Amino acid sequence: MNARLVHFVWSHRLGLLVIVAVAMVLIFPLVTNNPYTLELTNRIAIISLAVVGLNLFMGSTGQISLGHAAFLAMGAYGSGVLTVHAGLSPWVALLAAAVLAAFFALVVGVPLLRLSGHALAMATLACNVVVHHVLLQEDQWTGGPSGLAGIPPLSVGGILLDNPVQLHFFVWGVLLLVLFGALNLVRSLPGRGLALLAADEIGAACLGVPVLRVKVALLVLSAVLAAVAGSFFAHTYGYVSPDSFSIFVSTDLAIMVVLGGMGSVWGSVLGAAVIILLPEVSDAAETYKEFVHGGILVAILLFAPQGAMRAIRQGWQLAVWRWRRAHATA
């Protein structure tokens, strides 16, 4: 009986995890209706969207992107400019911004992902600098350094998403959908191919993984997710400024990926949550932000390059194995 229960739980672990996650999302606003707390968790959800995409890309292709804040910016400013200056509806603006980001990723990705090594890291960084520069310079559209205000909130089925509780259900709902898709992908047959691609490009190619096409597709997917996150950001706060999309934000996104573990879907959320919540835990984390974030990155790479999520899982497996061994002899 007990064994059957264990077997049931284990064989349905993904489904059960999703159910638990959904339940937690549903219950959370009942536990706390503190707008400040909800604002924080909503931000975690929004940033996690971008981090999941970036993680799928970096974890599968072994390439570093240091410019994903540029895609966030395209989403945020795409939404902002099109609603404020062109008067489009928020959803149309969001869609247009996502298409723009996808197109941009395609144009940059097709030539650059042919190259081995770390050309892409520098090129994405360069793209981010250019995009940031455009945001600062084109002030008749973007508001320049002082930012762009008055962006209208999104609405779903006639409900305007303008308070933290409604936003909570919306952004966490979207994030859960994306997580579900990402988990599916990782566990599917193409996902196995991606795991091998990350470890060994030639090996994956010889087993039938279309390497270039997959890399470009994942870059485009991650760009779209980042753009959607950027749009949510803009419609949630009603205001965007260039500093939210500098290259330092890009490195933060990459740090979240490494912290959670490259290729680990749940790790993406963990990484985003830790980095966003750090300043809440201690003021020092904000004062010495570079120290802390850089230190986390260096420490993870030196001591647990597989990332926090896998380190936790391996620790747990080790504990289970020890427990089993102890009980087998007893």
Partner 1 sequence: MDWMQFIWAGLGNGAIYALIALGFCIVYGAMGIVNFVQVDFVTLGGMFLYSVAVTAGLPVPLGVVASMVGTALVAMAVERMALRPARTANHLVLVFLTVGISIVVRGAIHMVWGKNRMAVPPLTADDPVRLLGAYVLPQTLWMMVLTLLAILALVWFFRGTPLGLAMRAVASNPRAAAVVGIPAGRVRLAAYAVAGACGGLAGALVTPITTLSADVGVLLGLKGFAAAILGGFGSFPGAVVGGLILGISEALAAGYLSSAYKDALAFVLLVLVLAWRPQGLLGR
Partner 2 sequence: MLRLEGVTKRFGGLTALDGVSFAVAPGTVTALIGPNGAGKSTLLDCLFGVQRPDAGSIRLGERELVGLSPDAIARLGLARTFQNLRLAPFETVLDTVLVGLVARQPFSLWAGLLRLPATRHTERAMRLAALQALDRLGLAHKADWPAGVLAYGDKKRLELARAIVAEPQVLVLDEPVAGLNRVETEAVASELRRLRRAGRTVLLVEHDMDLVMRLADTVVVLDGGRRIAQGTPVEVQRNPLVLEAYLGQMEVVA
Interacting residue ranges for partner 2, rule: CB under 8 A: 181-182, 184-185, 187-193, 195-196, 198-200, 202-214, 217-218, 221, 306, 310
Separation CA 253–CA 233 (nearest Å): 15
Q: Which two tokens stand for residue 24?
A: 């937690």
CB of 190 to partner 1, least distance (A): 22
Taking alpha carbons only, the member of 152, 157, 166, 155 closest to residue 35 is 166
CB of 202 to partner 1, least distance (A): 15
Question: Which residue, 196 or 277, is less far from partner 2 as judged by CB?
Answer: 196
Give 117's DSSP letter: T
Separation CA 314–CA 177 (nearest Å): 27
Kindly state whether residue 215 participates in binding partner 1, applying the rule CB under 8 A. no
CB of 292 to partner 2, least distance (A): 28
Kindly state whether residue 283 participates in binding partner 1, applying the rule CB under 8 A. no
Kindly state whether residue 298 participates in binding partner 1, applying the rule CB under 8 A. yes
Q: Cβ of 194: how many Cβ atoms within 10 Å?
A: 20
Separation CA 203–CA 199 (nearest Å): 9
Spatial CB neighbours of 60, under 8 Å, sequence gap ≥ 6 = 194, 195, 197, 198, 214, 218, 263
Kindly state whether residue 117 participates in binding partner 1, applying the rule CB under 8 A. yes
87-116 in b/e form (b: 16+ CB < 10 A) is ebebeebbbbbbebbbebbeebbeebbeee
Question: Which residue, 126 or 205, is less far from partner 2 as judged by CB?
Answer: 205
Question: Which residue, 43 or 215, is less far from partner 2 as judged by CB?
Answer: 215
CB of 151 to partner 1, least distance (A): 25
In the numeric block, the tokens 């928020």 are attached to 90
Residue pair 186/265 in contact by the 8 Å Cβ criterion: yes
Q: What is Dmax (Cα atoms) for the chain?
A: 76
Kindly state whether residue 295 participates in binding partner 1, applying the rule CB under 8 A. yes
Pick one of 105, 254, 272, 275: the residue that binds partner 1 (CB under 8 A).
254
Kindly state whether residue 100 participates in binding partner 1, applying the rule CB under 8 A. no
Q: Residue 119: which of partner 2, partner 1, none does it interact with, CB under 5 to 8 A by kind? A: partner 1
Kindly state whether residue 290 participates in binding partner 1, applying the rule CB under 8 A. yes
Question: Which residue, 161 or 179, is less far from partner 2 as judged by CB?
Answer: 179
Q: Residue 214: which of partner 1, partner 2, none does it interact with, CB under 5 to 8 A by kind? A: partner 2
Rg, C-alpha atoms of the chain: 21
Q: Residue 70: which of partner 2, partner 1, none does it interact with, CB under 5 to 8 A by kind? A: none
Residue pair 79/247 in contact by the 8 Å Cβ criterion: no
Pick one of 9, 86, 115, 156: the residue that binds partner 1 (CB under 8 A).
115
Spatial CB neighbours of 203, under 8 Å, sequence gap ≥ 6 = 196
Q: Amino acid identity of 146?
A: S
CB of 200 to partner 2, least distance (A): 5
In the numeric block, the tokens 């939210």 are attached to 244
Kindly state whether residue 289 participates in binding partner 1, applying the rule CB under 8 A. yes
Write out the binding residues for partner 1, residues 123-142 only, by CB under 8 A.
123, 125-127, 129-130, 133-134, 137
Question: Which residue, 251 or 264, is less far from partner 2 as judged by CB?
Answer: 264
